[in-house]
Structure 1
């Protein structure tokens, strides 16, 4: 009398941050898990070359989300992770930066919890920390900023719903994720709510990668400088007097635009 085979043991989903762009900023744990995974579900902002660390026979499923262009709806993606784990697979959900900083990681593991799927979270270098470091902009400095704020600048339907008075305080650095499309409104609101038009500000595009570009200006001129330079996503906006240190502290061999002039280190 034959016995039916037991159902496969439920696999585990690992939410893994791949960092801001440079593959050697991956953590050791992230590198190991990617190499062991049966399936890798990845975004469009993962570190360059990171998929090359996966096994040749591993499933590689693109689930990237770009502005106004979602290859896979979030609900469908959540159920995909559940299905792969129920098939007994070791699943790496690979995200750019850190999964818990504007990466929807919390939303995804809430669904995994509801379905009883085991999961772990592997932090990554978030874009603000990585891009600022490679641009030569310290996010905190005793003479400039005693606080740092991360905020999403993604504008829905052209509207802005942020706590501008809190963001426009002195002696802090504000980093806007996903804000390049609304940079004009962001700079205008920061001035309207108390920061001087001459407040130093910067944009870092493709931070930590060989394609990194840095634009430094002030709140009044940054939007036009970004337009002139043709900057597009992925890019971060950094506002604070720490930006004034960039010219002196820049160390990474990237294109740097300061005062409207682009140079190469």
Structure 2
């Protein structure tokens, strides 16, 4: 299977009218900006037609995009000029066409927020569903360790996507910042959840699964806000509490969103 082909036209900032800045559309003369965008479209059209004229490439072409990559620095390392334009869109196209393994690295390297959020959301939903599946198994108490490990791994994974390198200890410290004690209090809370299976056999498994799903979903939501959006630990804690309460009160909505 041949890889998909993406045509990229660089240096669109050099197209006429040169003084119209594509990266600052709100401060440009509307007529000149539209003229420049028409020139970008013309370049994209020409590149698309040229690539499609090659029989060996025609079937592999998935997108053609004009961008600007101009960026210059002063001798002291500060940015002199930044005329980058549509690189986020290019990253999204690459993200869509890359295999699953490459998407993780792309999201981490490019730091495009939309890609990071998409991956972190997918990871959160997968882990929440995994924890729910573990919790509904009728083995009381024995599910505490794998669920806790999965939740710590979820935090480490979201941290990695954001560009940080977190171990399980650092993930545990983040849980503590959320007000979730990974030590005795956390174990007791999880034990109480697991023991529901004893008190309400059958139905207790469903309750236990819903609680595990809500807790993991809330942890992932708080981690995304903290690591990807830069909210404070206090705000992440409030988001954790609100998400957990909402998911536990309306599990059908949480499950459909997850």
Q: Which structure has the bigger radius of gyration?
A: 2
TM normalised by structure 2 equals 0.24
TM normalised by structure 1 equals 0.23
Structure ranking higher on relative contact order (CA contacts 8 Å, 6+ apart): 1
Higher normalized helix content (fraction of residues): 2
